[in-house]
Amino acid sequence: MFCSGDPTMFKEYWERMGDKSSITITGWQSLSYFSNTSNICWFLEPEFEKEVRRIHSVVGNAVAEDYHIVVGNGSSQLFQAALFALSPANAPHPMNVVSAVPYYSSYPALTEYLKSGLYKWAGDACNFEEEEPYIELVTSPNNPDGFIREAVVNRGKLGKLVHDLAYYWPQYTAITAPADYDLMLFTVSKCTGHAGTRIGWALVKDREVATKMTKFIELNTIGVSKDSQLRAAKILQVLSNCCECARPGETENFFKHFRGQMTERWDRLRAVVKCSDLFSLPEYPVEFCNFFGDFFEAQPAFAWLKCREYIEDCESFLKSHKIITRSGRHFGVNSKYVRISMLDRDSTFNLLLQRLSTIIQNTH
Amino acid sequence: MFCSGDPTMFKEYWERMGDKSSITITGWQSLSYFSNTSNICWFLEPEFEKEVRRIHSVVGNAVAEDYHIVVGNGSSQLFQAALFALSPANAPHPMNVVSAVPYYSSYPALTEYLKSGLYKWAGDACNFEEEEPYIELVTSPNNPDGFIREAVVNRGKLGKLVHDLAYYWPQYTAITAPADYDLMLFTVSKCTGHAGTRIGWALVKDREVATKMTKFIELNTIGVSKDSQLRAAKILQVLSNCCECARPGETENFFKHFRGQMTERWDRLRAVVKCSDLFSLPEYPVEFCNFFGDFFEAQPAFAWLKCREYIEDCESFLKSHKIITRSGRHFGVNSKYVRISMLDRDSTFNLLLQRLSTIIQNTH
DSSP string computed for A277-305: SSEE-----EEEETTTTEEEE---SEEEE
- In chain B, which segments carry CATH 3.40.640.10? 31-244
- In sequence order, which ranges of A60-172 are alpha helices (DSSP H)? 74-86, 106-112
Of A81, A323, A80, the residue nearest A210 (C-alpha): A81
DSSP-derived letter for residue A175 is -
Q: Is residue A255 a contact partner of residue A55, using CB atoms and an 8 Å limit?
A: no
pLDDT surpassing 90 at residue B363: no
- Segment B92-108 shows an average pLDDT of 97
> How far is A362 from chain B, CA to nearest CA, in Å?
33
Q: Between chains, do A219 and B117 touch, taking CB under 8 Å as contact? A: no
Per-residue pLDDT of A302-330, as tens digits, reads 999 999 988 999 999 999 999 999 999 99
In this predicted structure, what is the pLDDT of residue A1?
46
- Segment B177-206 shows an average pLDDT of 97
Q: What is the overall mean pLDDT for chain A?
A: 95
In this predicted structure, what is the pLDDT of residue B244?
86
Residue range B254-363 forms a domain whose CATH class is alpha beta
In this predicted structure, what is the pLDDT of residue B137?
98
Helix (H, G, I), strand (E, B) or coil at A358: helix
Query: What is the sign of the dihedral through the CA atoms of B110, B112, B116 and B119?
Result: positive
> ipTM value of the model?
0.96
| Chain A residues lying within 8 Å of B116, measured CB to CB | 114-117
In this predicted structure, what is the pLDDT of residue B3?
61
How does residue B171 score in pLDDT terms, banded at 50, 70 and 90? very high
- In chain A, which segments carry CATH 3.90.1150.10? 254-363
Query: What is the sign of the dihedral through the CA atoms of B24, B27, B28 and B34?
Result: positive
Of A172, A233, A165, the residue nearest A197 (C-alpha): A233
In this predicted structure, what is the pLDDT of residue B251?
53
Q: Is residue A201 a contact partner of residue A78, using CB atoms and an 8 Å limit?
A: yes
Residue range B31-244 forms a domain whose CATH class is alpha beta
In this predicted structure, what is the pLDDT of residue B248?
58
Measured distance CA(B195)–CA(B223) in Å, rounded = 18
The low-confidence residues of chain A, meaning pLDDT below 50, are 1
Distances (CA, A) of A231 to A18, A20, B339: 15, 12, 35
Beta-carbon contacts below 8 Å between A and B: 209
- Segment B39-57 shows an average pLDDT of 98
Most B-contacting residue of A71, A222, A237, A241 (CB-CB within 10 A), to test interface: A222
Measured distance CA(A138)–CA(A165) in Å, rounded = 8
| Chain B residues lying within 8 Å of A216, measured CB to CB | 113
In this predicted structure, what is the pLDDT of residue B250?
54
How many CB atoms are located within 10 Å of the residue A310 CB?
A: 6
In this predicted structure, what is the pLDDT of residue B1?
46
For B223, the closest of A27, A114, A198 (CB atoms) is: A198
Q: What is the DSSP string of B244-263?
A: HHPPTT-TT-HHHHHHHHHH
> How far is B83 from chain A, CA to nearest CA, in Å?
10
Of A148, A168, A185, A177, the residue nearest A60 (C-alpha): A177
pLDDT surpassing 90 at residue B245: no
Question: What share of chain B has pLDDT > 70, as a percent?
Answer: 97
Q: CATH topology for A23-244?
A: Aspartate Aminotransferase; domain 2 (3.40.640)
Q: Between chains, do A76 and B115 touch, taking CB under 8 Å as contact? A: no
In this predicted structure, what is the pLDDT of residue B152?
97
Q: Which residues pair with B70 in a beta bridge?
A: B202
Q: Between chains, do A31 and B113 touch, taking CB under 8 Å as contact? A: no
- In sequence order, which ranges of chain A are alpha helices (DSSP H)? 11-17, 46-59, 74-86, 106-112, 188-191, 207-221, 226-245, 254-273, 314-319, 346-363
Q: Between chains, do B196 and A114 touch, taking CB under 8 Å as contact? A: no
Q: Is residue B137 a contact partner of residue B98, using CB atoms and an 8 Å limit?
A: yes
- Segment B156-174 shows an average pLDDT of 97
Tell me which chain B residue has its CA closest to the CA of residue A24. Answer: B24
